[in-house]
């Protein structure tokens, strides 16, 4: 097998592929067009999220037998077309679900205890105890939307807390010992904290808009470690201003990577986005929920194991 690695990764994947007799080729800099011109030479492809593997790209991958996606989200791959072409697709949610579960819990506890605000203040010489009085999770209802790998792992992390955990998933039949599945009406009625764990699809892009937000009976806290496009930033900000959303923990944003840096470089930052960067009841992280020292190893090992089980 000739394997092309398109995103940097833990070296174990290269070492273990070598032991399996695979030939590894690394290319972390070529443009998509340059990769398209040579993709027919490879049997396997290892990628994180550098490129979109659309139908046009996959048509050129005439010898491709597998794609290893070092992560969970598959919106950057035309999975239907890959399947149609008989390409084995290995993703690795097993590798970063624990990281996402812990990060989501971390964001929630940081928001409730104002850790980001208090930390900034103490460092600047301000000692304000009253302004940093926290609130407790005890007795609240946490609602999870999308109860797959990530949603389930987050609910498991809530085991030590006196909270009711509800889940809502379009699949249905997904509740377990950590969470009770409910219909959307009960979800809207009861939850105090909403955590998003849905994939990016046509149905979930823009899912958290004004209509969605206003359907909740109580003001609530929002956590998003799924995808930035699930939330309409300006509607979130309107709700933060009105108090319908009490605070937000966002690991993913509508604007990420290059466009994110550009927003700071010139004066064109949309007002809603600027608001998020300044609000004290908002915590922002740069898409690192699934990005730990341990997940880097586990993602790579998951892909090796899946490819090995299929082909060796």
Ligand X SMILES: NC(=O)C1=CN([C@@H]2O[C@H](COP(=O)(O)OP(=O)(O)OC[C@H]3O[C@@H](n4cnc5c(N)ncnc54)[C@H](O)[C@@H]3O)[C@@H](O)[C@H]2O)C=CC1
Ligand Y SMILES: O=C(O)C(=O)COP(=O)(O)O
199's contact among ligand Y, ligand X, none, with CB below 5 to 8 A by partner kind, is ligand X
225's contact among ligand X, ligand Y, none, with CB below 5 to 8 A by partner kind, is ligand X
Distance CA 247, CA 280 (A): 8
48's contact among ligand X, ligand Y, none, with CB below 5 to 8 A by partner kind, is ligand Y
Residues of this chain, 59-98, that bind ligand X according to CB under 6 A: 71-73, 93, 96
Binder to ligand Y among 68, 71, 143, 247 (CB under 6 A)?
71
Indicate the DSSP class of residue 22: P
Output the residue with the shortest Cβ distance to ligand Y: 71
Tell me the number of residues near ligand Y by CB under 6 A: 8
- Binding status of residue 96 toward ligand Y by CB under 6 A: yes
Query: Between the CA of residue 72 and those of 2, 4, 81, 226, 254, what are the distances in Å?
Result: 24, 19, 18, 10, 18
- Binding status of residue 171 toward ligand X by CB under 6 A: yes
Closest alpha carbon to 305 in 49, 43, 4, 66: 66
Distance CA 101, CA 153 (A): 5
Distance CA 238, CA 220 (A): 14
197's contact among ligand Y, ligand X, none, with CB below 5 to 8 A by partner kind, is ligand X
Binding mask 250-289 for ligand Y (x = CB under 6 A): -------------------------------------x--
- Binding status of residue 251 toward ligand X by CB under 6 A: yes
Output the residue with the shortest Cβ distance to ligand X: 148
Binding mask 290-309 for ligand X (x = CB under 6 A): xx------------------
Distance CA 39, CA 137 (A): 51
Q: How far is the CB of 287 from ligand Y (least distance, A)?
A: 6
Residues of this chain, 15-34, that bind ligand X according to CB under 6 A: none
- Binding status of residue 226 toward ligand X by CB under 6 A: yes
146's contact among ligand Y, ligand X, none, with CB below 5 to 8 A by partner kind, is ligand X
- Binding status of residue 73 toward ligand Y by CB under 6 A: yes
- Binding status of residue 77 toward ligand Y by CB under 6 A: no
Binding mask 47-66 for ligand Y (x = CB under 6 A): -xx-----------------
> 6: which residues sit within 8 A by CB, 6+ positions away?
27, 28, 35, 45, 46, 47, 48, 50, 51
204's contact among ligand X, ligand Y, none, with CB below 5 to 8 A by partner kind, is ligand X
| Exposed/middle/buried for residue 138 (C-beta within 10 Å: 0-12, 13-18, 19+) | exposed
* Other beta carbons less than 10 A from residue 242's beta carbon: 11
Distance CA 216, CA 269 (A): 30
Binding mask 100-119 for ligand Y (x = CB under 6 A): --------------------
Query: Between the CA of residue 17 and those of 4, 61, 78, 127, 285, what are the distances in Å?
Result: 11, 20, 25, 55, 33
Indicate the DSSP class of residue 74: -
- β-pairing, 66-69 with 88-90? parallel
Q: Which is nearer to ligand X, 239 or 252 (CB)?
A: 252
């Amino acid at each position: 097998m000739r394997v092309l690695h398109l995103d940097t990764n833990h070296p174990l994947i290269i070492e273990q592929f070598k032991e399996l007799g695979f030939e590894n080729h690394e290319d972390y800099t070529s443009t998509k067009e340059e990769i398209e011109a040579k993709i027919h030479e490879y049997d396997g492809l290892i990628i994180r999220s550098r490129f979109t593997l659309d139908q046009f790209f996959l048509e050129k991958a005439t010898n491709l037998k597998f794609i290893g996606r070092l992560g969970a989200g598959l919106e950057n791959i035309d999975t239907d077309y890959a399947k149609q072409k008989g390409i084995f697709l290995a993703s690795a949610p097993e590798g970063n679900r624990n990281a996402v579960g812990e990060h989501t819990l971390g964001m929630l506890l940081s928001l409730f205890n104002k850790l980001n605000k208090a930390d900034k203040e103490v460092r600047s010489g301000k000692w304000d105890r009253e302004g940093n009085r926290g609130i407790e999770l005890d007795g609240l209802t946490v609602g999870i939307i999308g109860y797959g790998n990530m949603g389930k792992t987050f609910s498991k992390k809530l085991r030590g807390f006196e909270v009711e955990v509800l889940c809502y998933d379009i699949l249905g039949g997904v509740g377990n010992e950590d969470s009770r599945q409910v219909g959307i009406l009960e979800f809207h009625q009861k939850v105090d904290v909403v955590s998003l764990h849905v994939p990016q699809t046509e149905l979930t892009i823009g899912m958290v808009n004004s209509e969605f937000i206003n359907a909740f009976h109580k003001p609530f806290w929002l956590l998003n470690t799924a995808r930035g496009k699930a939330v309409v930033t300006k509607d979130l900000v309107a709700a933060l201003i009105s108090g319908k959303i009490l605070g937000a923990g966002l690991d993913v944003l509508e604007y990420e990577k290059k466009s994110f840096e550009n927003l700071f470089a010139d004066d064109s930052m949309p007002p809603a986005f600027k608001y998020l960067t300044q609000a004290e009841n908002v915590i922002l992280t740069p898409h690192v929920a699934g990005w730990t020292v341990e997940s880097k190893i586990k993602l790579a090992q998951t892909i090796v194991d899946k490819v090995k089980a299929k082909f060796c």
